[in-house]
Amino acid sequence: MSHTPLISVVMPVYNSDCYLHKSIDSILDQTFVDFEFIIINDGSDDNSENIILSYKDERIIYLKNEYNVGNYLARNIGLKMAKGKYVAIMDADDIAFPNRLARQFMYLEEHKDVKAVGSWFIFENNQQQWKHPVEDEQIRLGLLEKNCFMHASLMICSDILYKLNGYNELYRYASDYDLVCRIVFHGKVYNLPEILMVYRCHSTQISQKYMQIQQLLAEKIRLCYQLNFIKFYGRGNLKEVDRYTIGDKKLGYIISLYIYSRFMGDKAIEYQADEYLSSVIDEMCNEVTVKLYNLGCGFIYLLRNGLILGNEDDVLRDIDLQLDWLCLALNVDDKESLLGWIHYLCLRIDIKNGNSLVLLKNKQNLICLLNYLDKFDICEDDSILFKDMRKVHFAGLCPVVTNRLLFVEKNKIEVTFIIPVRIDSKERESNLDWLIERLSRRRNTFILLLEADTESRYLLKAKYENVKYCFVRDNDPVFYRTHYLNQLLRMADTSIVGIWDTDVVLSEKQIEESILTIYENRSALCYPYNGMYCSLSMQGSLLLKEAGISSINSLSSSDILSISTSSVGGAFFVNRNLYLQLGGENEFFYGWGCEDLERYKRLEILCQPVYRVAGPLYHLYHPRKENSWYQNEMLELSNRQEFLKVCGMSCEELKQYVQSWKWISVK
């Protein structure tokens, strides 16, 4: 186009050929004409591309992904191309009324404080009208429970989209909900009380095809939004809020209403919160549907911040009574409830009311619940629990038990985990975030993280005293992993080194046993698993990262994509000096290949003991891209030849061959 358009319409397309004509026509037939229409073909393998290319309108900008990257990642690709002052969201299976763009453009031009505007819509199949909340306050309060927009009806100010970096692709099937939950903290939002869109339901759309995982992600977004809402409107004048405080969806909504009413000075909203709270209190005895520890944490927050009035012991009496028998009858596998009750009791004993009977009973119940924690690793699974245990430990409530649980007497052996990485997806970045957060909590542990790429793409999400990040500029499309592992091995200061992929999950017990095996010189190399390598689905990965490694038993068969029974990759521990003498990583393996199997066979031929510990390894989901396969046939040929070359040698021949490796002598 010869000028900058006022509106950029962004529409991803994936296998939508039976709906596409009407969707495209509805945009091209708009009464408002000053727009560009960015259509992203997201790896469709039906007739979608031919339909798109059949249009000759100069306002269409056609982009094509070679493979399907997903709805919101495709939208982000379109956003980077957008030039308009406003971005209109569009789906390939919906229909816009002819005046949609004109009405929304006019509204945003006349209301500069509004950053996004949607509309009402109608279902094509039954002509039912859907009327979302209209006003800004209704919407931002409504978002505390669910999304309040038809996403394809939105028009958003471009500057806000750029400021927020578009969609968070980690919320793969619910990124639209997350986006509007972030927009409301930067300006007003609105829904035009007019039918401007037609919504078409079918079995292949995201909301139908991925309903279960979408609901899981939406709940995570809801929790995050409530936390941010409370912090934003509390303005630092309230006690810290956490996921247990708002773990009950209804109570989280109530707390948000109270805080918002105080901020706005609106008694009507406070009255609404009072009414809603009364209904929640009526449900307190229904333990089937209500998690009482979440209610307890929520009530503590309300009382201690003066949002409601009452004596804490009186308000929480029924919940405290539940604990007298629960401590003796708790399901030892119900980790979620165990951690929730422990957090509740940590809050309850954190009051200065002397040696009252209630306080003594709560301390006694907390000590009883600590006994259930022996089967869990509190350092690796849950940061809130870790803080709770440190509080209990320094309070001297039961120091022998808390000393054991916090590994004060364990993990005295120093170990370095080395992780080379090239970030090629949001999922891999998220997996690495989770892994570092988990490993960094271990005592006497150091982490060396090396990123090699054309530019630095990874940022540590917190300040870790025991994590060192370094970046190497590398323009080579092939990720030379063996070379960077040797570099990290030479950088490590500890005698025991764990060589780790970015996406592996293991129990602390397996890690500890492997470290001890190397420390006692029983093995030159130890695999912290029994050969069983379980690749998780996206949903399985989300569940595991949310609930921790001890939740593995709750995964279903659909959460595991595949299982290998004799794997030798992913993670292993070595005696650093001995392993380097044995050749370290074989740098003749260039890029992805069979270096894992070669390593195992090399030590076997050199008569070096290799050890395995009991238990499986779990691999978190990420898209399989170029770094997860041979780059080309020539590299595959070279890598396979190197493997066969090593396997064909005798022990003495291999020793001589290893001594010829030039990287052995590099300090």
Q: What is the pLDDT of residues 520-561, one digit of tens each?
A: 888 899 999 999 999 998 878 887 877 666 666 667 777 788
Comparing CA positions, the residue from 311, 596, 330, 329 lying closest to residue 482 is: 596
Q: Are 246 and 227 in contact (CB under 8 A)?
A: yes
Query: How confident is the model over 591-646, as pLDDT tens digits?
Result: 777 899 999 999 999 999 999 999 999 999 888 755 556 667 888 888 889 999 99
- Contacting residues for 447 by C-beta, under 8 A, at least 6 apart: 416, 417, 418, 419, 436, 439, 440, 464, 466, 467, 468
Is residue 468 helix, strand or coil?
strand
What's the mean per-residue pLDDT of the chain?
87
For residue 573, the SS3 value is strand
Same domain membership, residue 425 and residue 394: no
155 vs 105: CA distance, rounded Å: 8
Q: Is the pLDDT reported for residue 470 higher than 90? A: yes
Residue 24 has pLDDT above 90, yes or no: yes
Task: Indicate whether 207 belongs to any domain.
Answer: no
Asked whether the predicted pLDDT for residue 162 surpasses 90, the reply is: yes
Both 156 and 294 in a single domain? no
**Least confident piece of the model among 170-179, 293-302, 591-600, 626-635:** 626-635
Cα dihedral 227, 233, 236, 239 sign = negative
For 350-432, list the strands marked E by DSSP: 415-421
Rounded Cα distance, 44 and 587, in Å: 39
3-class SS at 121? strand
- 351 falls within a domain: yes
Per-residue model confidence (pLDDT) at position 666? 46
pLDDT at 377: 59
Nearest to residue 419, comparing CAs of 506, 515, 487, 336? 487
Predicted local confidence at residue 550, as pLDDT = 62
The region of weakest confidence among 79-93, 235-249, 324-338, 524-538 is 324-338
Q: What is the C-alpha separation between 215 and 204, in angstroms, rounded? A: 16
- Residues spanned by the domain of 613: 419-664
For the beta carbon of residue 644, count every other beta carbon within 10 angstroms.
10
pLDDT score for 667: 45
Same-domain check for residues 391 and 463 = no
Q: Which of 405, 439, 467 is the last residue of a domain?
A: 405
The reported pLDDT for the residue numbered 375 is 66
pLDDT value at 110 more than 70: yes
Residue 83 near residue 36 (C-beta atoms within 8 A): yes
Does 33 map to a domain? yes
Are residues 169 and 221 located together in one domain of the fold? no
Q: Do 176 and 259 fall into the same domain?
A: no
Distance (Å, whole) CA 271 – CA 578: 71
Rounded Cα distance between 660 and 665, Å, is: 9
Q: Answer whether residue 288 is part of any domain.
A: yes
**C-alpha to C-alpha distance for 245 and 293, rounded to whole angstroms:** 9
For residues 115 and 214, the model is more confident at: 115
Stated as kind and residue range, the H or E segment containing 77 is: helix 71-81
In a domain, 348, yes or no: yes
pLDDT digits 0-9 by tens, 501-510: 999 999 888 9
Question: Are 544 and 453 found together in one domain?
Answer: yes
Residue 69's pLDDT is 81
CATH number of the domain within which 575 lies? 3.90.550.10
pLDDT tens string 39-69: 999 999 899 999 999 999 999 999 998 888 8
pLDDT digits (tens, 9 = 90+) for 562-589: 898 889 999 999 999 999 999 999 999 8
204 — pLDDT class (breaks 50, 70, 90)? low
Q: Is the pLDDT of residue 395 over 80?
A: yes
- What CA–CA distance (Å, rounded) separates 209 from 185? 31
- 500 pLDDT more than 60: yes
Q: What is the pLDDT of residues 407-452, one digit of tens each?
A: 544 447 899 999 999 998 888 898 999 999 989 988 889 999 999 9
pTM given for the model: 0.69
Asked if the structure places residue 2 within a domain, the reply is: no
The amino acid present at 322, given as its one-letter code, is Q
Please give the backbone phi and psi of residue 326, each rounded to the nearest 5 degrees, phi first.
-65, -35
Give the mean model confidence (pLDDT) for residues 358-386.
77
Residue with tokens 């010869």: 2
Say whether both 245 and 360 belong to one domain: yes
Task: Transcribe 104-150 into DSSP letters.
Answer: HHHHHHH-TTEEEEEEEEEETTT--EE----SHHHHHHHTTTS--S-
Give, in degrees to the nearest 5, the angle at Cα 601 between 595 and 607. 140
Q: Do residues 223 and 303 both lie within one domain?
A: yes
pLDDT at 97 over 90: yes
User: Do residues 139 and 225 share a domain?
Assistant: no
pLDDT of residue 62: 96
The verdict on 400 and 430 lying in the same domain is no
Q: Do 222 and 359 fall into the same domain?
A: yes
Least confident of 183-197, 208-222, 384-398: 208-222
- Percent of the chain at pLDDT exceeding 70: 91
Domain boundary among 177, 202, 227: 202
Query: Among the listed ranges 68-72, 94-98, 202-206, 226-230, which one has the minimum average pLDDT value?
Result: 202-206
Does any domain span residue 245? yes
Q: How far apart, in whole angstroms, are the C-alpha atoms of residue 101 and residue 152?
A: 12
- The full DSSP string for 189-207 is EEEEEEEEEEE---TTSHH
pLDDT recorded at residue 351: 64
- Going by pLDDT thresholds of 50, 70 and 90, the confidence category of residue 183 is very high
User: Looking at the domain assignment, is residue 208 inside a domain?
Assistant: no
Q: Which residue has the higher pLDDT, 336 or 111?
A: 111
Last residue of a domain, one of 176, 202, 228: 202
Q: How many angstroms separate the most distant Cα atoms in the chain? A: 86
| pLDDT computed for residue 558 by the predictor | 73
CA 231, 233, 237, 238 dihedral sign is negative
DSSP bridge partners of 420:
450
pLDDT confidence of residue 288: 47
How many structural domains compose the chain? 3
Q: Clarify whether residues 283 and 194 are in a common domain.
A: no
